[in-house]
């Protein structure tokens, strides 16, 4: 298992985090998610079985904790949920402060296909001198995917421990997702847990959310005014009736000509040409002579709310 397959047979995603429970130990929940459709590929029978092995290895290569589970799914009942979401496996380790590698292997017994997920984990000492902020946890939205949840039972050879469920906020519990999915124009809850900040300075932790795109660059959220203007721009371009019936005036410029147009109240377009340099000046409304006639001010009066 330390090697694993060269390529995963189906996608798997692993989430781990450490929560102090006292006695020098941390409770480390692991959440493994397996999308259902790839898991079902080539599965024509009425049942399928999975073996799930998970272990945590410390920095010296010593096995610190492990869990294993054999699962048999009745596909006549489980197939709709698997196709709409997948399988979510939840287990728990108990680890002492240090650096760990967590690996999980999933094997489909009917075909022998395997996939491995690996996570690096630092278990901090709590209480301690260094502040600890865990990665943000996304809550699974009921409207996005359905999961068949499997909870790993305690190992028979493990010490009995009475611990509370870690993913809880003011009595409300949730299971985080290892594969966050947010449909367009939707909202989701994100939770951040922090330790070792003390009670004397409650403002020491500040959360500044930022959404990054695939390239790692910030994703700019357009204000309502920009969203409307962009949608209106596309509407006019794609509206054949407007293009045919709207009054228009064609202006032609000689090569190397320089021209300027104020377009706040005029729809316009370039019909043909080779090169053009377009420059936009952003001017604060407070500097305008008649700010109430600015397009954004007109739209705000119509909408009855701020558009910036």
CA distances from 272 to 61, 204, 257 (A): 67, 57, 15
- What's the pLDDT tens digit per position in 133-182? 898 899 876 655 678 999 888 887 777 777 788 898 888 888 899 988 77
Q: Is pLDDT above 90 for 62?
A: yes
Q: What is the pTM of this model?
A: 0.67
Cβ pair 32, 14 in contact under 8 A: yes
- What's the pLDDT tens digit per position in 256-277? 888 777 777 778 787 787 777 7
- What's the pLDDT tens digit per position in 21-30? 878 889 999 9
Mean pLDDT, rounded, for 4-24: 86
226: tokens are 């920009």
pLDDT of residue 104: 95
- For residue 8, give every residue at least 6 positions away whose Cβ sits within 8 Å of its Cβ, in sequence order, or none: 114, 115, 116
- What's the pLDDT tens digit per position in 273-307? 777 777 777 888 889 999 998 888 999 999 898 88
- Binned at pLDDT 50, 70 and 90, residue 55 comes out as very high
Strand 137-138 with 147-151, pairing: unpaired
Q: Is pLDDT above 60 for 1?
A: no
Q: Is pLDDT above 70 for 51?
A: yes
pLDDT of residue 244: 86
Residue 298, judged by CB atoms within 10 A of its CB (0-12, 13-18, 19+), counts as: middle
Half-sphere exposure of 35 (CA within 13 A, CB side): 13
Question: Quick one: 13-195 is in which CATH superfamily?
Answer: Immunoglobulins (2.60.40.10)
List the domain boundaries for the chain.
13-195, 224-303
Q: What integer best gives the mean pLDDT of the chain?
A: 85
């Amino acid at each position: 298992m330390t090697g694993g397959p060269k390529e995963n047979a189906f996608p798997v995603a692993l989430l781990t985090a450490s929560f102090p429970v006292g006695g020098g130990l941390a409770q480390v929940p692991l959440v493994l998610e397996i999308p259902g459709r790839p898991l079902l590929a080539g599965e024509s029978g009425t049942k399928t079985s999975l073996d799930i092995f998970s272990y945590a290895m410390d920095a010296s290569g010593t096995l610190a904790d492990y869990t294993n589970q054999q699962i048999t799914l009745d596909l006549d009942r489980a197939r709709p949920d698997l196709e709409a979401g997948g399988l979510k496996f939840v287990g728990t380790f108990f680890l002492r402060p240090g650096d760990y590698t967590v690996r999980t292997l999933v094997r489909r017994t009917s075909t022998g296909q395997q996939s491995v997920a690996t996570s690096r984990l630092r278990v901090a000492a709590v209480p301690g001198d260094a502040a600890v902020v865990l990665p943000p946890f996304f809550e699974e939205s009921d409207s996005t995917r359905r999961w068949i949840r499997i909870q790993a039972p305690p190992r028979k050879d493990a010490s009995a421990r009475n611990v509370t469920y870690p993913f809880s906020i003011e009595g409300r519990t949730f299971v985080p997702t290892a594969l966050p999915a947010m449909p367009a124009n939707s909202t989701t809850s994100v939770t951040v847990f922090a330790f070792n900040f003390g009670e004397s300075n409650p403002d020491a932790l500040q959360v500044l959310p930022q959404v990054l795109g695939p390239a790692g660059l910030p994703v700019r959220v357009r204000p309502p005014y920009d969203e409307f203007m962009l949608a209106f721009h596309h509407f006019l371009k794609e509206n054949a009736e407007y293009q045919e019936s709207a009054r228009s005036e064609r202006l032609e410029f000689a090569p190397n000509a320089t021209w300027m147009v104020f377009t706040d109240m005029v729809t316009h377009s370039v019909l043909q040409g080779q090169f053009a340099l377009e420059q936009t000046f952003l001017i604060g409304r407070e500097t305008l002579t008649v700010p109430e006639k600015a397009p954004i001010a007109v739209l705000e009066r119509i909408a009855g709310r701020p558009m910036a």
